[in-house]
Amino acid sequence: MENSKLSFQYWFITMHLLSCTKKSFSAKEIQRELGHNRYQPIWEMAHKIRSVMGLRDNLYTLGNEIELDDGFFETVDINRDHDEPLKRGRGSQRQTTVLVMAESKDVELTQLNKKYKDQKKFGFLKMKVISGGFSEKLFTPKVTESIDPNIVIKSDGSTSYSELKNDFDHRPETIPKKEAGKMLPWVHKAISNAKRLLLDVHHRIDDDFLQNYLNAYVFKLNRRYFINLFDRVLVAAVTQKWNYIG
CATH of the domain at 136: 3.30.420
| pLDDT of 68 | 94
Q: Among 70-79, 81-90, 113-122, which is the least confidently predicted range?
A: 81-90
Q: Are 189 and 99 spatial neighbours (Cβ–Cβ below 8 Å)?
A: no
101 found inside a domain: yes
127 found inside a domain: yes
Number of structural domains found in the chain: 1
Question: What global pTM score does this model have?
Answer: 0.86
Residue 104: domain span: 65-78+89-207
187 found inside a domain: yes
Q: Is the pLDDT of residue 167 over 70?
A: yes
228 found inside a domain: no
Arithmetic mean of pLDDT, 127-144: 83
| pLDDT of 163 | 86
213 found inside a domain: no
